[in-house]
């Protein structure tokens, strides 16, 4: 009971604090508050209550806060949009379009106080630990490294301000900004003269990867902390990150990334308990981390970092090979540093008590010299070639265009891997990311299940729908993609989040049922390429096509019982 009461008190405190912070975020005093409140695009939170976060550890219930809206954490923008075209469109738009330059609403940013407060979105348990009392006395200090290309002045300024305002001064040695050849050479002038701030300008565009290395080489602190140039640090964001590195100099620590809405710049708490993962086509994605009985404020080991916001010791950054300097502009470097860190003796965690807001955009606001698809292919192919061993085939299969990327010389990076005596990618998969499904490892086959030009089709694709033998559709069509898993189930992969597997009905028609590993849903792929129902011993045949039915194996012609997978 006591525990429950404490939780309730904590939640109420949390709600009050959040409300106050939200009010504060629109200005210091009442008048200003009113003023700013009315001028901002969508000042009031939506009326319908939404979940802001899962703040409770033991009871696992959710705090519903009517003043904050829950948003699924967006992915960092992906390079699938043709960038060059988009940039040309921007150029032709009227300059009064607040999205034209930055792909976020710069008017909303301009209107906000440059030192606005943000709601404290941390789990209330985080607030019990105070700096410096509850931290090791010798936390290492850090240099903050921002790289930016054409960042909006108000946003850049607020980013730097939030670092200086919300960090213990003794833990910040310097703030280094790398102006990556912004069109206006004075773009960074807005932060010039701020305490501890130093600006370095690239005369040619280097991309964020080489720019960060330039910043790192100029830094002298024991810890480097990289940030994007459109962020706002939350309360006490820094000590929990540094603490991780204090424990282990090979650790990389990432904050939990909150969302600054790109349209109205509202600061939104994001779901906790997420970690970074990826697909074989090398798209970063957020996923729910396995809990493993730990407290909700314990650091969450993550196979991958989003890339932009993290602390790392200078010693480990340098020892482990900084970044791959042959990677251009944007993208892929988070894969490279994540594989490298784990495989070469380090670790990566997302720290729940450290929160930093970030403006997630839908598209890049800058050009990719050479094209964004090509750049992403090159950067990820370099990662695959150096770090992914035989598993790189799955990457090339999922991202065929990367096969043709001009990757450039790799010796330096392969040498580095040897010198550091790094483990294999297989080790990484087994120990760090066992949840990633490996084609061929967890499955008998996948893709279409074919007989010449005929394919097994999910029919209506709904529960109890009868399967059919149909003309094969273009690959990736949602009714003909299957996964035949090692556990014997054949699952429909329709990309809609359904969970249907192949079963037999009373008349031995193949039908869709909700997947279980009960005997009626288990199949064996035989050496003669039959699909045999384990419980009844019957084989799937096309002899009554378009129906897909099961008969005693060998009772219809071999041709009708022989099935092949496309992948």
Binding site for ligand UD2 (CB under 6 A): 76-77, 147-149, 151, 180, 205, 207-208, 211, 228-229, 257, 306-309, 329-331, 333-334, 358, 364, 366
Say which entry of Mn ion, ligand UD2, none residue 212 contacts (CB below 5 to 8 A, set by partner kind).
none
Minimum distance of ligand UD2 from residue 356's CB (angstroms) = 9
Say which entry of Mn ion, ligand UD2, none residue 260 contacts (CB below 5 to 8 A, set by partner kind).
none
Say which entry of Mn ion, ligand UD2, none residue 229 contacts (CB below 5 to 8 A, set by partner kind).
ligand UD2
Minimum distance of ligand UD2 from residue 498's CB (angstroms) = 31
Q: Please name the residue that has the structure tokens 């969450």.
A: 300
* Complex with ligand UD2: residue 342 or 376, whichever CB lies closer: 376
CB 455 within 8 A of CB 481: no
d(CA 102, CA 284): 22
Minimum distance of Mn ion from residue 309's CB (angstroms) = 9
Minimum distance of Mn ion from residue 289's CB (angstroms) = 22
Binding mask 300-329 for Mn ion (x = CB under 5 A): ------------------------------
- Phi-psi map region of 440: left, alpha, beta (phi>0 left; psi -120 to 50 alpha): left
* Complex with Mn ion: residue 210 or 364, whichever CB lies closer: 364
Minimum distance of ligand UD2 from residue 180's CB (angstroms) = 4
* Complex with ligand UD2: residue 182 or 470, whichever CB lies closer: 182
Minimum distance of Mn ion from residue 365's CB (angstroms) = 10
* Complex with Mn ion: residue 130 or 362, whichever CB lies closer: 362
Omega of the bond leading into 546 within 30 degrees of 0 (cis) = yes
* Complex with ligand UD2: residue 246 or 374, whichever CB lies closer: 374
How many residues contact Mn ion, by CB under 5 A?
1
Determine the Cα angle at 348 with ends 343 and 352, to 5°. 165
* Complex with Mn ion: residue 206 or 228, whichever CB lies closer: 228
Distance separating the N- and C-terminal Cα atoms of the chain: 55
CB 157 within 8 A of CB 164: no
Say which entry of ligand UD2, Mn ion, none residue 330 contacts (CB below 5 to 8 A, set by partner kind).
ligand UD2
d(CA 359, CA 156): 11
CB 353 within 8 A of CB 273: no
Say which entry of ligand UD2, Mn ion, none residue 337 contacts (CB below 5 to 8 A, set by partner kind).
none
In eight-state DSSP terms, residue 520 is G
Backbone angles phi, psi at 288, to 5 degrees: -70, 130
Q: Name residues contacting Mn ion, limited to 174-233 (CB under 5 A).
A: 228
CB 267 within 8 A of CB 313: no
Q: What is the DSSP string of 462-503?
A: STTPBPEEEEPPSTT-TTS-EEEETTS-EEE--SS---EEEE
Q: Which residues are CB-contacts of 465 (< 8 A; sequence separation ≥ 6)?
A: 458, 459, 511, 512
Q: What is the DSSP string of 89-128?
A: HHHHS-TT-TTTTTSS-HHHHHHS-TT------S-GGGGG
Say which entry of ligand UD2, Mn ion, none residue 373 contacts (CB below 5 to 8 A, set by partner kind).
none
* Complex with Mn ion: residue 74 or 82, whichever CB lies closer: 74
Estimate to the nearest angstrom the gap between the alpha carbon of 556 and the chain centroid: 50
* Complex with ligand UD2: residue 132 or 185, whichever CB lies closer: 185
Q: Quote the tokens at residue 369.
A: 């010299």
* Complex with ligand UD2: residue 253 or 472, whichever CB lies closer: 253
d(CA 534, CA 552): 12
Say which entry of Mn ion, ligand UD2, none residue 77 contacts (CB below 5 to 8 A, set by partner kind).
ligand UD2
CB 334 within 8 A of CB 306: yes
Say which entry of Mn ion, ligand UD2, none residue 148 contacts (CB below 5 to 8 A, set by partner kind).
ligand UD2
Mode of pairing for the β-strands spanning 142-148 and 172-180: parallel
Say which entry of ligand UD2, Mn ion, none residue 329 contacts (CB below 5 to 8 A, set by partner kind).
ligand UD2
Say which entry of Mn ion, ligand UD2, none residue 141 contacts (CB below 5 to 8 A, set by partner kind).
none
* Complex with ligand UD2: residue 102 or 470, whichever CB lies closer: 102
Q: Quote the tokens at residue 294.
A: 């730990």
Minimum distance of ligand UD2 from residue 123's CB (angstroms) = 21
d(CA 285, CA 268): 19
Say which entry of Mn ion, ligand UD2, none residue 306 contacts (CB below 5 to 8 A, set by partner kind).
ligand UD2
559-562 long-range contacts, CB within 8 A, separation 24+: 559/451, 560/451, 561/528, 561/529, 561/530, 561/531, 562/451, 562/528, 562/529, 562/530
Minimum distance of ligand UD2 from residue 324's CB (angstroms) = 12
Say which entry of Mn ion, ligand UD2, none residue 124 contacts (CB below 5 to 8 A, set by partner kind).
none
* Complex with ligand UD2: residue 191 or 257, whichever CB lies closer: 257
Minimum distance of ligand UD2 from residue 507's CB (angstroms) = 53
Residue 356 burial class via C-beta count within 10 angstroms: exposed 0-12, middle 13-18, buried 19 and up? buried
Minimum distance of ligand UD2 from residue 234's CB (angstroms) = 14
CB-CB neighbours of 330 under 10 Å? 22
Minimum distance of Mn ion from residue 196's CB (angstroms) = 22
Minimum distance of Mn ion from residue 361's CB (angstroms) = 7
* Complex with Mn ion: residue 228 or 457, whichever CB lies closer: 228
Minimum distance of ligand UD2 from residue 73's CB (angstroms) = 10
Can you name the residues that pair with 484 across neighbouring β-strands? Answer: 445, 490
* Complex with ligand UD2: residue 208 or 224, whichever CB lies closer: 208
Say which entry of Mn ion, ligand UD2, none residue 207 contacts (CB below 5 to 8 A, set by partner kind).
ligand UD2
d(CA 455, CA 533): 18
Positions that interact with Mn ion (CB under 5 A):
228
């Amino acid at each position: 009971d006591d525990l429950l009461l404490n939780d309730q008190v904590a939640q109420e405190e949390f709600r009050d604090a959040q409300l106050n912070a939200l009010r504060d975020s629109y200005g210091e005093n009442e008048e200003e508050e009113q003023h700013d409140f009315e001028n901002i695009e969508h000042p009031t939170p939506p009326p319908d209550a939404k979940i802001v976060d899962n703040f409770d550890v033991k009871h696992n219930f959710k705090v519903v806060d009517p003043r904050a809206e829950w948003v699924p954490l967006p992915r960092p923008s992906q390079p699938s949009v043709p960038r060059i075209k988009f940039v040309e469109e921007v150029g032709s738009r009227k300059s009064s379009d607040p999205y034209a330059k930055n792909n976020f609403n710069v008017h909303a940013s301009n209107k906000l106080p440059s030192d606005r407060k943000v709601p404290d979105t941390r789990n209330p348990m985080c607030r019990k630990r105070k700096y410096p009392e509850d931290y090791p006395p010798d936390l290492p200090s850090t240099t903050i490294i921002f790289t930016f290309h054409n960042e909006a002045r108000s946003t850049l300024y607020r980013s730097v301000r939030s670092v200086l305002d919300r960090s213990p001064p003794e833990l910040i040695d310097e703030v280094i900004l790398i102006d990556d050849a912004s069109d206006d050479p004075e773009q960074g002038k807005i932060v010039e003269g701020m305490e501890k701030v130093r600006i370095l300008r690239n005369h040619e565009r280097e991309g964020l990867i080489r720019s960060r290395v330039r910043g790192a080489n100029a830094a002298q602190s024991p810890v480097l902390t990289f940030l994007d140039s459109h962020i706002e640090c939350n309360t006490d964001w820094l000590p929990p990150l540094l603490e991780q590195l204090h424990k282990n100099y090979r650790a990389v620590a990432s904050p939990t990334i909150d969302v600054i809405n790109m349209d109205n710049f509202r600061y939104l708490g994001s779901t906790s308990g997420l970690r970074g993962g990826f697909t074989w086509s090398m798209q970063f994605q957020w996923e729910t981390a396995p809990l493993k009985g730990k407290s909700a404020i314990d650091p969450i080991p993550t196979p991958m970092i989003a890339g932009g916001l993290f602390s790392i010791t200078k010693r480990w950054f340098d020892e482990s090979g900084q970044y791959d300097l042959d990677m251009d502009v944007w993208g892929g470097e988070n894969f490279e540093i994540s594989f490298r860190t784990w495989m070469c003796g380090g670790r990566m965690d997302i720290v729940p008590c450290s929160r930093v807001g970030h403006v997630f955009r839908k598209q890049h606001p800058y050009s990719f010299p050479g094209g964004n698809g090509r750049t992403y292919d090159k950067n990820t192919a370099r990662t695959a070639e150096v770090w992914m061993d035989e598993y790189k085939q799955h990457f090339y299969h999922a991202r065929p265009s990367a096969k043709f990327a001009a990757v450039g010389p790799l010796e330096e990076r392969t040498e580095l891997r040897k010198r550091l005596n790094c483990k294999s990618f297989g080790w990484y998969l087994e120990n760090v990311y066992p949840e990633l499904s490996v084609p061929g490892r967890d499955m008998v086959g996948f893709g279409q299940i074919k007989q010449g030009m005929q394919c097994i089709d999910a029919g209506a694709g709904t529960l109890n729908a009868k399967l059919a033998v149909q003309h094969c559709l273009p690959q990736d069509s949602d009714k003909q993609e299957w996964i035949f898993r090692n556990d014997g189930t054949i699952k429909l992969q329709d990309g809609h989040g359904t969970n249907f597997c192949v079963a037999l009905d009373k008349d031995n028609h193949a039908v869709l049922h909700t997947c279980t590993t009960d005997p009626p849903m288990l199949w064996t792929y035989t050496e003669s390429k039959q699909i045999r129902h384990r419980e009844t011993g019957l084989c799937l045949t096309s002899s009554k096509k378009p129906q897909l039915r099961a008969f005693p194996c060998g009772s219809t012609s071999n041709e009708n019982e022989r099935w092949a997978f496309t992948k």
